[in-house]
Amino acid sequence: MEFEFECEAGKFKGYETETNCIQIKGIRYAISNRYEEPRPYRYDKNKVQECKEPSPYGIQINNPVDTFLMGLDCDTLPQEESCQYLSITLPKGTTSQHQLPVMVYIHGGSYLTGGCDNPCFDREPLVKENQIIVVGINYRLGVLGFVKDKTGNYANLGLLDIIMGLKWVKENISDFGGDSNNITIFGQSAGGESVRCVMLAKGTENLYHRAIIQSDPIGTMVNRDKMEKKILDQLHKVPLDASIETIKKTQGYIGSHVTHLGYARFMFFGPHFGIYPLPPQEEIPQRLKEIANDHDLLIGSTLRESSIFVGYIKLIVLLHKFFITRWIIEKIIKKTSKDIFIDPSKKFAYDYVKASKTKKETDTITMSNIAMSTTNNTNTNTNNNDNSNKTNDNNNNNDNDNNNDNNNNDNNNNNNNDNNDNNNNDNDNNDNNNNDNNNNNNNNNNDKNNNNNNNNDNNNNGSHTYHYTFSWSENNNFNGAGHTLELLGLFGGKAYIGRDIAMGLSEKELYDKGQPLRKIWGDFAKTGRITQNKIEGMIDIEQL
């Protein structure tokens, strides 16, 4: 059965899947020339586009980690230089009247590989179980997306592709049954860094409402200058009109000749801070103040991120079976995971909370000043009016100083909600004294496991920030709690069956184990709240 949708960008025909979902694949959202910024793309509205084939991948070559994880051969994949395509998955029966929550997935792959219709990123489980719409976006990678522009200067072309894709979603998704005012962007690894960069980029704040950052290698995004200069110099040697084969060979050469000794070498292609549309690193705190109070955030990492990056080396897996060598290998895995993923993600989360509170405090002070000014003006007018003075005398039995104190207290109580929230956080027992917003939470104050959920309703104004730790099979498998492992839960795991990362589990076992995780992600996309702060043996989530 076929399904047609018409929007400003064109007319599109999708198809029904076996899981009662509708797929509309391979919609071009933009087009570009080599090393140039993307331009919006519009189809001829007189023609219906058949959207049944996967979105073409960006130009890429094989790398051992992706081959180990997914078993894909990049040389067999459909690839295009101008790869600005997106694909949409929605529940069967969805019409423009439904206005369902929307999630937009940005794939990872070290800015080297990946694609939104990679079988490992099956959107259907999230869609079917949560009754939401999930969109996947492709963008330029490697030397074509994250090195330079046509003039030879540094450029963030791949990031600009992603932003253009989000603009397309914002403008058109309502015609597919999505709510353009309830969009969550989420991504893992380099996709997580892309989500962070979208948040930090200039002029993107209205394109999304919530963000989920998974296993972002933030620790690789510092001290990159010398390495990036060498990469730029190498690419300058390649003619602007070089063939795709030459581009691929250049990308492979760059990857095999990185001599940088810092963590940046583990993701040698990537966005450039201080280059449009990203602020310099030192201006990130200010940018967070501009966005943190209006966008919910869920961010976190796995406990053994780095295990995946050595898991394809059979000798290391073999040595891991022996006590002494296992101790050494685990020490390296834990150290690099902590430095590249875990600690930087926690810092970003706390910086986000700090920025949100700073903005709230500034807004509170401003509102208090306005209130004080209004009160002073009112008092001045009152003193000039005899009738008003008489009314004030009748209403006020105490001396003027006491009245002013009481009035000021009332103003402070009405205007300084953040101060009340802080007082409540200092002493949990004061929760019973809170008014309507806290009544539902008081019943659960003694339940430690529900503490994060209780706090959700206390923060009705402003954003919610959560940090998670993913620990699935931490001690049971070399790949346990490793990089990408949560993707098996989120996307059903079907494409991973038989590979080492599946840890010997069947398709049904992977699907069933991932169901509560998909619900957490789906509920966050719907409401910005975490409804379950723990899955035993898999994930722990705390509100910051």
3-state secondary structure 407-466: HHHHHHHHHCHHHHHHHHHHCHHHHHHCCHHHHHHHCCCCCHHHHHHHHHHHHCCCCCEE
Residue keyed to tokens 């794939």? 107
Retrieve residue 227's tokens.
């390495």
- Give residue 360's pLDDT: 56
Q: Is the bond into 277 cis (omega within 30 degrees of 0)?
A: yes
In a domain? residue 271: yes
In a domain? residue 68: yes
Judge whether residue 420 has pLDDT over 80. Answer: no
- Give residue 144's pLDDT: 99
Judge whether residue 187 has pLDDT over 70. Answer: yes
In a domain? residue 470: no
* Residue 43 Cα distances to 48, 82, 340, angstroms: 9, 16, 42
Domain count, the chain: 2
What's the CA gap between 491 and 125, in Å, rounded? 6
- Give residue 362's pLDDT: 53
Structural domain harbouring 236: 2-291
Residue keyed to tokens 């394809």? 312
In a domain? residue 174: yes
Q: Could you tell me which residues are beta bridge partners of residue 2?
A: 15
- Give residue 119's pLDDT: 95
Top pLDDT among 429 and 543 is at: 543
What's the CA gap between 143 and 145, in Å, rounded? 6
- Are 286 and 373 found together in one domain? no
Top pLDDT among 436 and 200 is at: 200
Judge whether residue 271 has pLDDT over 80. Answer: yes
Last residue of a domain, one of 236, 261, 291: 291
Torsion of CA 206, 209, 214, 215, to 10 degrees: 40
- Are 32 and 145 found together in one domain? yes
CB 79 within 8 A of CB 164: no
Question: What phi and psi, each to the nearest 5 degrees, are found at residue 419?
Answer: -65, -40
| Identity at 75, one-letter amino acid code | D
- Are 272 and 398 found together in one domain? no
Top pLDDT among 461 and 353 is at: 353
In a domain? residue 168: yes
- Give residue 454's pLDDT: 39
- Give residue 24's pLDDT: 98
- Are 368 and 225 found together in one domain? no
| Mean local confidence (pLDDT), 3-28 | 97
State the chain's mean pLDDT as an integer. 86
What's the CA gap between 319 and 262, in Å, rounded? 26
| DSSP per-residue codes, 401-420 | HHHHHHHHHHHHHHH-HHHH
- Give residue 445's pLDDT: 40
Closest CA to 145 of 279, 55, 271: 271
Q: What value does the CA radius of gyration of the chain take, rounded to a whole number of Å?
A: 26
Closest CA to 355 of 490, 259, 462: 462
- Are 273 and 366 found together in one domain? no
Top pLDDT among 490 and 401 is at: 490
- Are 49 and 155 found together in one domain? yes
What's the CA gap between 503 and 315, in Å, rounded? 18
CB 544 within 8 A of CB 353: yes
- Are 169 and 282 found together in one domain? yes
- Give residue 359's pLDDT: 58
- Are 75 and 192 found together in one domain? yes
DSSP 280: P
Query: pLDDT tens for residues 195-243?
Result: 999 999 999 999 999 999 999 999 999 999 999 999 999 999 999 999 9
Retrieve residue 63's tokens.
């790398």
Q: Which helix H or strand E contains 173, and what residues bound it?
A: none
In a domain? residue 502: no
- Give residue 68's pLDDT: 84
| Mean local confidence (pLDDT), 48-55 | 97
Q: Within 13 Å, how many C-alpha atoms sit on residue 468's CB side?
A: 31
Which pLDDT band, with edges at 50, 70 and 90, does 1 fall under? low
In a domain? residue 343: no
- Give residue 313's pLDDT: 83
- Give residue 414's pLDDT: 39
What's the CA angle centered on 487, arms 481 and 493, to 5 degrees?
A: 105
Judge whether residue 80 has pLDDT over 50. Answer: yes
| Mean local confidence (pLDDT), 43-53 | 97
Q: Which helix H or strand E contains 537, and what residues bound it?
A: none
Which pLDDT band, with edges at 50, 70 and 90, does 33 fall under? very high
What's the CA gap between 6 and 149, in Å, rounded? 34
In a domain? residue 476: no
| Displacement of CA 364 from its chain's centroid (Å) | 29
- Give residue 406's pLDDT: 40
Judge whether residue 512 has pLDDT over 70. Answer: yes
| Mean local confidence (pLDDT), 406-426 | 40
**% residues pLDDT > 90 (the chain):** 72
What's the CA gap between 298 and 468, in Å, rounded? 7
Which pLDDT band, with edges at 50, 70 and 90, does 393 fall under? very low
Judge whether residue 434 has pLDDT over 70. Answer: no
CB 538 within 8 A of CB 464: no
Top pLDDT among 152 and 427 is at: 152
Last residue of a domain, one of 434, 459, 484: 459
Last residue of a domain, one of 291, 311, 331: 291
pTM recorded for the entire structure: 0.83
Residue 195 CB partners (closer than 8 Å, separation 6+): 106, 185, 186, 187, 211, 212, 213, 216
- Are 256 and 150 found together in one domain? yes
What's the CA gap between 82 and 102, in Å, rounded? 25
DSSP 308: G
Top pLDDT among 420 and 375 is at: 375
| Mean local confidence (pLDDT), 156-162 | 99
Q: Could you tell me which residues are beta bridge partners of residue 48?
A: 11
- Give residue 369's pLDDT: 55
What count of other Cβ atoms lies within 10 Å of the Cβ of residue 48?
Answer: 16
- Are 26 and 143 found together in one domain? yes
Which pLDDT band, with edges at 50, 70 and 90, does 380 fall under? very low
- Are 131 and 276 found together in one domain? yes
| Mean local confidence (pLDDT), 379-405 | 43
| Identity at 276, one-letter amino acid code | Y
Question: What phi and psi, each to the nearest 5 degrees, are found at residue 161?
Answer: -60, -50
**What CATH number has the domain bearing residue 94?**
3.40.50.1820
Retrieve residue 174's tokens.
């309502």
Judge whether residue 336 has pLDDT over 70. Answer: yes
Burial-class residue 527 by CB neighbours within 10 Å (0-12, 13-18, 19+).
middle
Judge whether residue 295 has pLDDT over 90. Answer: yes
| Displacement of CA 479 from its chain's centroid (Å) | 24
Judge whether residue 78 has pLDDT over 70. Answer: yes
- Are 378 and 277 found together in one domain? no
Could you tell me how many residues make up the chain?
544
| Mean local confidence (pLDDT), 151-175 | 99
- Give residue 243's pLDDT: 98
Question: What phi and psi, each to the nearest 5 degrees, are found at residue 155?
Answer: -150, 155
Look at phi and psi of residue 51 and say left if phi exceeds 0, alpha if psi is from -120 to 50, else beta. Answer: beta
- Give residue 4's pLDDT: 94
Query: pLDDT tens for residues 125-156?
Result: 999 999 999 999 999 999 999 999 999 999 99
| Mean local confidence (pLDDT), 462-476 | 93
What's the CA gap between 349 and 360, in Å, rounded? 17
